[in-house]
Structure 1
Amino acid sequence: MSQGYYVSRTVAVSAAVVAVVAAITIFALSVAYSKHKCTAGGGGGDGGGDGGTLVGPTPAPEAREPWDRYRLPDTLYPVHYNVTLWPRLTKNEHGLYVFTGHSTVDFKCEKETDLILIHSSKLNLTKSNGHHATLTGLGRARAPSIKTTWLQEKTEYLVVQLSGKLVPGHSYQLHTKFQGELADDLEGFYRSEYTEKGVKKIVATTQMQATYARKAFPCFDEPAMKAVFHITLIHPPGTIALANSRDAEILHTSLDETDVLVTRFEPTKRMSTYILAFIVSDFGSIQKDETDSTTLVRIWARKTALESGHGDYALNVTLRVLEFFERYYNTSYPLTKSDQVALPDFNAGAMENWGLITYRETSLLYDPKTSSNGNKERVLTVIAHELAHMWFGNLVTLRWWNDLWLNEGFASYVEYLGADHAEPSWHIKDMIVQGDVQRAFAADSLVSSHPLTRSENEVSKPEEISQMFDTISYSKGAAVLRMLSEFLSEPVFVKGLSSYLHQFAFGNTVYSDLWDHLQDAAQSTGLHVNLPYSVHDIMNRWILQMGFPLVTIDTTTGTISQKHFLLDPDAVVDRPSIYNYQWIVPIKWMKNGVHQDQHWLIEKTAVFAPMRASGSQWILANLNVSGYYRVNYDQQNWERLFAQLSSDHQVIPIINRAQIIDDAFSLVKARILNTTVALQTTKYLVQEREYMPWEAASRSLNYFFQMFDRTEVYGPMLTYLRRLVQPLYDHFQSDQPLSHTMAYTKGIAVSLACKTGVPGCKQQVLDQFRQWMREPHNNRIDPNLKWVVYCHAIAAGAEAEWNFGWEMLQNVTMASEAARLRSALGCTKLPWLLNRYLEYSLDPSKIRKQDAASTIGYVASNVVGQSFAWDFFRSKWDYLFKEFGGGSFVFPSLITSVTRRFSTEFELQQLLDFQRDHPDLGSGKVALDQAIEKTRANIKWMAENKKAVLDWFNSQSAS
């Protein structure tokens, strides 16, 4: 699954920059689920410890009765399902949209039992002979009679108690008949609505990940419970029905005196419930007529969107990305078709349902006339992410959600490879550094972080599973797998991966299975002789303990050391680790611009003589940020790096120029490096034109904006930044053609220029916006600058500009344009408009439910609106919790966005009071813990650094 707003992961330039200079949140719709003993397997050796036993918190006492436990017992295993569903696309006599259905599941008994537990949530089950289900034996099996049945609401089970025992090795069939609500809750079998040519349309669609298949029909709803599914959908004439496999038969008939179509689909492959999908809609489709592929590839969306060509780009890149992954995995695409569907209402960025991928419209539809480079890149990378899952995640699946990173971290890494193949001129592989690596650093530097693989007792309830869909699983997972591929080499990595996929096809695995195959690949190629320890021993340190190391290099002595990096160095780490927060670190480095042989740091401290430097020599470690660690140097080496940047910055690779800035500012936030050292990294930017360093600077300075835009530091800071950005802004005043990333740099230049008061900038964007107001049907604003122009014009304007933006939002048909307008409306400086906008956010007739959390976040990222958003969030918490459900993905991002600026004791106390008053925060618990931790760190940092920062900016203005 690609993340949505709540776990956003940037692919478009506006993601980091808007948050920095336009006072709105990171905009990316991206980005947002087995049992196994948590041991690594693998060899020993001095660095190997005991092979990798995972240490976690003390487990809660186990429930006495099986139906009070959240995990299924190991007594039964499904073989195949027959499911028939009939969604009603009009309201019933009670004013509700509903669906009816019946299903059978054939299962095999593994261990003797007189109890059947099968997941069922929010379904009204029809009783037969006084029971919610009927049981029959298959083959020679005789089914015992049912003693009693009931629905266990807390653990979401249909409980079937039998009068006798089920026999191991025998097979049985359970039949149920049910009705459910086709609600707008974006979970399970739900409805999406849109208006096309003045007519309201209803779509019946699904989102099963992670624990919502049980809302569509009773099922064994765990990823290891794979089965074959036979799906039949009943739907109105004039609509189409889609499922994971191709349709086998469509009948026109009458049921209950209603004219209907009955679409029966071919049996699926053996698969997990969470990647099951089915859709009934009025959508149209496009497909390639001329292709050598045996795979049917189609894009489905609103008919008007397809008629306007908005699905063409997705169709073209899908074919290229599929071809790439078939070669990369050395495995043919496992299915005969690949449908991709753009949904008007969808909670995530996209979902990797096998053969029927669902997307937010912003993640699949692209209009070359109105969409930006960022929108186009977003479509490409999300498609690549979801197609990567067709093999890694769907064909081979995690056993339990504590290993979610195996799915999402891998897809988040290889999406860059697939996208790079489709658009090689974009150099998109480098984007992983700011898109995932630096994002992971920010989350993983907190004591409230967690290991990539957690113990199973930490991940059992639905809300605990939802919490796993976070930055750690996606972005850290991508970062450590990229590091692994770098030190193994890509050919060895791919060789091991292919072997892994072939062995476990249509099955389930744990992370150590992947290590086994990568180790075998290393040994078969002879690479293992270059590794200090086995793949198990190296990688277990990166996935079985949270956090990452800060590598400190003293170039005067050649001493290298490592230490667990924490945002608050005074914070107490209460999660034990058998590795004592020590890593085996691959260090790629250069000396005075010359690449050196890779070095491995194994001990806490070691001396490596080649890293001594003298005179004008400088050392740069973590080349291309291939390793998952930050770097600090002695003061002399920092100054030599600054001198090199000032004299000829191009000697240092672009990625590492961005790394120097990002590392330095992060070390400042952690109170390790003097603030003025980090600020010095920005001085060379007057010469810089590349996107990545400017993006790193704007993201890093965002912290300064958040901490100081309510203090006396703000004015001198703007004066310095205005002088810094003026040359970049002037550089882009001509209309020369721009590369993919240079268009992003121009966006940064214009936005930062307007923010800091570069003469003429605000008036220029206001003029462009007002020209659009005069000609609403002729928007001539550069698509790559719309996010800048909309936000700054609405911020500089009055009610008329806001009202025009709102009117355009109501009438827009392109989802990416709607997202820009929603974001920009949060930029106004008028408090009453911000409060009105907050009220709109919870009115589905004004703001789609999927966009409620991000809309509140846009207001919260505005310095004027932050306190309003925080008060609104607290006053509406009970409603939000009831409306979205405790396990919802929206809460982590919502809590993060409304608390981002907190840096005072008063704000900390408000957080603690909220935590005390709301003991059940569902999936938002960890986010609130993180908000408290970050607020405490901000308070300390402000106390220690405010005066020094003010003095430095004043000194730069005077020079």
Structure 2
Amino acid sequence: MSEEFAPQKDYRLSKNIAPEHYDLTIWTDLQDLKFSGTVEISLRIGTDTSTVVLNSLALEFSEVSLHSYALQNTQTPSATEIDDTRQRVIFTFPDVLPANSTARLKIAFKADVSSQMMGYYRSTGGKDSKTVYALTQFQPTAARRAFPCWDEPNFKATFAITMISRKDTVNISNMPVAHEEVYTPQLEVEEGSWIANTFASLLHPSDWKITTFETTPPMSSYIIAYANGPFEYIESSYKSTLSGKVRPLRFYGTANAIPHAQFALDTVTKIMPIYEQMFDIEYPLPKLDIFAVDDFDLGGMENWGLVICRTQYLLHDPTSNDVQNQQSVASMVGHEVAHMWFGDITTMEWWDNLYLNEGFATLMGDKAILGKRVWPEWKPDSEFLGSSFFQARQLDAKLSSHPVEVECPNEDSILQIFDALSYAKAASVLRMLSSHVGEHQFLKGVSIYLKKHLYKNAVTKDLWEGIQAATNLDIPKIMDTWIKEMGYPVLTVTETEDGLHIRQDRFLETGPAEEKHNQIIWTVPLSILTVSDDGKPTVQKHIFDTRENFYSLETSKVFKLNVDTTGFYAVQYSPERLVRLGRTAALPDSPFSLSDRIGLVWDASALAKAGYAPVSSAFALIRMLQGEKEYFVWDTIATNIEEIVSTWYEKPQVVELLNAFRRDLFVPVVKRLGLKYSISDSPNDRLLRTLAVRQAAAAGNPEVVAELKAWYAHLLQTGNDSKIPSELQGVTFKVGVGEGGRPEWEYAKQLASNPKNPAQGVAALYAVGASKDLGLAEETFQFALTGVRDQDIPRCLSGLQQNPLTRKFLAERVKDRFDELEKRYAGTFNFKRFIEVSFRYLSSDKDYEATAAFLKDRDTAAYDQALRQSLDNIKTRAAWVKRSTEELTEWLKRRPEGER
């Protein structure tokens, strides 16, 4: 929690001493997989002290000294204390450093280039997957694993980085190379220095080179980055619309990645000038690189000037028209490049304000606002609903949710807030605010905020002040409940002749909130669409900040709350009104927008799941929309039906009835669009075809399953995948393995280990878990733990989780190996994923009790949020099965007789 809200805590470093500049030298030996270095840090001393405390973890020190400019002396520590619990080193010096003075701390250190995907670590890639290179991943608290530093976001300083490496490798960092030289005895190196002594100890010093980078602007330690290896690149540039300056843009990777790099690089080239215009702030660094890596704990990381992402999220086959893959790459690039402003120029004060980075990057970059300017044909605002908005609402509907702005007392808690609330809910409520005040005014306020805090740190009130200056509205009043409180409301609509009586209560997936959970009254930016007799739509905007209120309108006419589904709340209408809304939504010239129709389906489904309404009401609405042509509405329908099938996975008779309903919905779409893709297809039709084929296959349509089986059999027999459209690779592999035996499984395993491209590898990783053979399930589990990259283990296990025959098997096997997995992945984002994949999709009270009992006596501090959320999910699903099985079964059995 930032100092604005609470006193300094023991887990935070004292501001008595602060760094102003780092001279960091890193020596990398990729043959011995070790690194060493020196860091010289210019310090500002606030009050008299003889101790210097900074962050360090898993580093070995060889030399430490401190020069005081006030005392005119250089000291070595009289005592050194390593505190691994708080990840610090404490140096005590003989002489007291006087207040308001400066000093220079010098430390020599070394460590292994580990495989832990944090700090300075190694990855393997290349065509043979044996090319070794080293790179950094510091967010949130791992810079301390690479060099001693003040590893907190509000200790900004400048960095001058030098890398020493073998001369046949490439070094990259945040800034451009200032100069680079192969070592010779004539090279000017300070006599007696650590660098000189190291070179003197080498048998062949001329095999090494020294790369010096330009000095950075003031920045936080977690966005420092550097890498060393046999990299190649392609290059582009963009011209700043603000200054006319031309900046180079590069895409780095191993040689096999470069042929698939152009789309990502083109995306950066397109969006950089748009961001500059949007924020009215020129990108301040001399260059921007993006770097595709094979092993990475996150999807991507916004290191200033050197964005690093997994290959799976950056590479696109230039011969493919796969819209989903293009969207995935554009989303990743847009998100990380948005961080160059949100997070890098202006950085949150502390991790409790992580959303100031991630919420903005999600909204601006990979979702709504940028997309409308670059790819309007992708309908990015509607895509945002499925990928972010409702994902956040599902998590926020749990009792185990947390506020967007949440206290982070230690490293364990920081790791856990990288979730759908810090990213997707934050983006959703910012989108709601943008809609309420107007996007132009919203962006103007954002620009004011950024300009006021250039190269500085910020907290929530700073953002609200910026937007308030642009709008003259009381922004804290509108936004505080959405940021500082967990949950969101359901608005219950009661109609009278004169208008609408609306009441707000907390929405919980376990059902209507009890009084103890219903204390918050949100300030709701309420929008109401009304349609006149001549079909003309009108939008009313209100601020609804009481428990109940009345709004006048003619209820005999068409109306709908939450225009374009911008408000972060659910709406419960009467059953009769929902039917009328469905009929209006199904009209060819419906006054309801695409986002309106998506919101209607999501709300009806969420209310049914939580017991506010019968499941039949959601299904009736879905049935009315069978004539829909828009992919995003169908995607919403598919997602919600999939969740019901998944929840009832232990009741095969219900699942078969659900699959019959699914077939009735999606097989006609397959027949209309066919299985062949054309370059003339619209993005909507490409996406809809892919979705419909997946759903028809999952529901067991014999014709679709037979075709996919034949495609996979041809691939297995010939090694030629030309019959399989890239969009249908995943479902084809899954059907091939699920309907086949050991040969089909073995081939998928082979592709997972040695794919021709990242997309094929991802498809195969999921598919190996699709076998119906429990013996092969056991082999899949062993393969996941020993045969795939650490970052990919959750994908491989997800295949077992998605398979109803192996879901409980997976939970039991993870329990068997829990201690080993916890030890192996402690401190990474991966372990949280293990918890979620392994347990949260179980669906019975017995499963809940067994999971809770298994974890009861363990120290779960590092993953308690994921655990509580998973347990909540099991409880909700179990309650839903008990509450709705009879009603669901009856509706599905009589469905053919129902009206269309």
TM-score class, shorter: over 0.9
- Secondary structure of 2:856's counterpart equals helix
Change (3 A) 1:901 1:468: closer
> What is the number of residues matched between the two proteins?
866
Q: Corresponding residue for 1:938? A: 877
Distance 2:66 2:362 in 1: 43
Distance 1:108 1:408 in 2: 31
Q: Corresponding residue for 2:607? A: 667
Judge conservation of contact 2:675–2:693 (CA < 8 Å) in 1: no
- AA aligned opposite 1:921: T
Judge conservation of contact 1:143–1:166 (CA < 8 Å) in 2: no
Instruction: Determine which structure has greater relative contact order: mean sequence separation of CA pairs < 8 Å that are 6+ residues apart, divided by chain length.
Output: 1
Matched, 1:380 2:338: no
1:428 Cα offset (Å): 2.1
Q: Corresponding residue for 1:473? A: 422
Please give the residue correspondences for 1:319-358 in structure 2 after superposition, counting only pairs within 5 Å. 319-358=269-308
Q: Corresponding residue for 2:196? A: none
- Secondary structure of 2:318's counterpart equals coil
- Secondary structure of 1:760's counterpart equals helix
Judge conservation of contact 2:71–2:97 (CA < 8 Å) in 1: no
Query: Which among 651, 656, 667 is matched to residue 715 of structure 1?
Result: 656
Judge conservation of contact 2:21–2:41 (CA < 8 Å) in 1: yes
1:186 Cα offset (Å): 0.2
Matched, 1:432 2:384: yes
Please give the residue correspondences for 1:132-171 in structure 2 after superposition, counting only pairs within 5 Å. 133-138=64-69, 146-171=77-102
Please give the residue correspondences for 1:103-252 in structure 2 after superposition, counting only pairs within 5 Å. 103-126=39-62, 128=63, 133-138=64-69, 146-196=77-127, 198=128, 200-252=130-182
Matched, 1:272 2:213: no
- AA aligned opposite 2:124: E
1:588 Cα offset (Å): 4.0
Please give the residue correspondences for 1:300-699 in structure 2 after superposition, counting only pairs within 5 Å. 300-306=252-258, 309-370=259-320, 372-415=322-365, 416=367, 417-455=369-407, 459-523=408-472, 528=473, 534-556=474-496, 558-569=500-511, 580-591=520-531, 594-610=537-553, 612-614=554-556, 617-646=557-586, 648=588, 650-699=590-639
Distance 2:124 2:591 in 1: 54
Change (3 A) 1:923 1:650: farther
Change (3 A) 1:572 1:858: farther
Query: Which among 767, 773, 791 is matched to residue 824 of structure 1?
Result: 767
Judge conservation of contact 1:590–1:623 (CA < 8 Å) in 2: no
Distance 1:555 1:418 in 2: 39
1:321 Cα offset (Å): 0.7
Change (3 A) 1:319 1:750: same
Please give the residue correspondences for 1:855-866 in structure 2 after superposition, counting only pairs within 5 Å. 855-866=796-807
**CA displacement 1:828-873 (0-9 Å, x = unmatched):** 2222112111111111xx2011111221122112101111211121
Distance 1:619 1:424 in 2: 27
Identity over the aligned pairs, expressed in percent? Answer: 26
**CA displacement 1:431-480 (0-9 Å, x = unmatched):** 1111110110000001111111123xxx1211110011111000001001
1:169 Cα offset (Å): 1.4
Distance 1:849 1:273 in 2: 25
1:730 Cα offset (Å): 1.2
1:907 Cα offset (Å): 0.4
- AA aligned opposite 2:24: V
- AA aligned opposite 2:772: K
**CA displacement 1:144-175 (0-9 Å, x = unmatched):** 76331121111111111233432221011111
Q: Corresponding residue for 1:102? A: 38
Q: Corresponding residue for 2:710? A: 767
Q: Gapped runs of 5+ residues in structure 2? A: 185-198
Judge conservation of contact 1:371–1:816 (CA < 8 Å) in 2: no
Q: Corresponding residue for 2:860? A: 921
Judge conservation of contact 1:564–1:582 (CA < 8 Å) in 2: no
Distance 1:598 1:144 in 2: 67
Q: Give the alignment's Cα RMSD to 1 decimal.
A: 2.1
Judge conservation of contact 2:56–2:147 (CA < 8 Å) in 1: yes
**CA displacement 1:282-341 (0-9 Å, x = unmatched):** 0100102796752110000111331xx211111111111111101001010110000110
Distance 1:371 1:798 in 2: 32
Distance 2:509 2:60 in 1: 49
- Secondary structure of 1:607's counterpart equals strand
- AA aligned opposite 1:98: K
Change (3 A) 1:149 1:576: farther
1:757 Cα offset (Å): 3.0
Once the two structures are overlaid, the 10-residue window that deviates more, 431-440 or 751-760, is 751-760
Q: Corresponding residue for 1:87? A: 28
Judge conservation of contact 1:892–1:927 (CA < 8 Å) in 2: yes
- Secondary structure of 1:335's counterpart equals coil
1:646 Cα offset (Å): 4.8
Judge conservation of contact 2:126–2:255 (CA < 8 Å) in 1: no
Judge conservation of contact 2:257–2:292 (CA < 8 Å) in 1: no
Distance 1:813 1:294 in 2: 36
Distance 2:4 2:521 in 1: 22
Q: Corresponding residue for 2:795? A: 854
Distance 1:176 1:242 in 2: 23
Distance 1:304 1:386 in 2: 23
1:371 Cα offset (Å): 7.0
Judge conservation of contact 1:662–1:700 (CA < 8 Å) in 2: yes
Judge conservation of contact 1:250–1:262 (CA < 8 Å) in 2: yes
Query: Which among 203, 207, 215 is matched to residue 257 of structure 1?
Result: 203
1:685 Cα offset (Å): 3.5
**CA displacement 1:343-370 (0-9 Å, x = unmatched):** 0111111100000110100111111335
Query: Which among 766, 783, 798 is matched to residue 726 of structure 2?
Result: 783
Query: Which among 803, 809, 831 is matched to residue 891 of structure 1?
Result: 831
Matched, 1:911 2:863: no
Please give the residue correspondences for 1:790-869 in structure 2 after superposition, counting only pairs within 5 Å. 790-843=733-786, 846-869=787-810
Q: Corresponding residue for 2:665? A: 724
Distance 1:446 1:289 in 2: 46
Change (3 A) 1:372 1:665: same
**CA displacement 1:610-647 (0-9 Å, x = unmatched):** 1x513xx3321111111111111122211211333455
Q: Corresponding residue for 2:194? A: none
1:600 Cα offset (Å): 2.3
Judge conservation of contact 1:549–1:583 (CA < 8 Å) in 2: no
- Secondary structure of 1:852's counterpart equals helix
Judge conservation of contact 1:686–1:727 (CA < 8 Å) in 2: no
- Secondary structure of 1:558's counterpart equals strand
Judge conservation of contact 1:346–1:359 (CA < 8 Å) in 2: yes
1:422 Cα offset (Å): 3.1
TM-score normalised by the chain length of structure 2: 0.93
TM-score normalised by the chain length of structure 1: 0.87
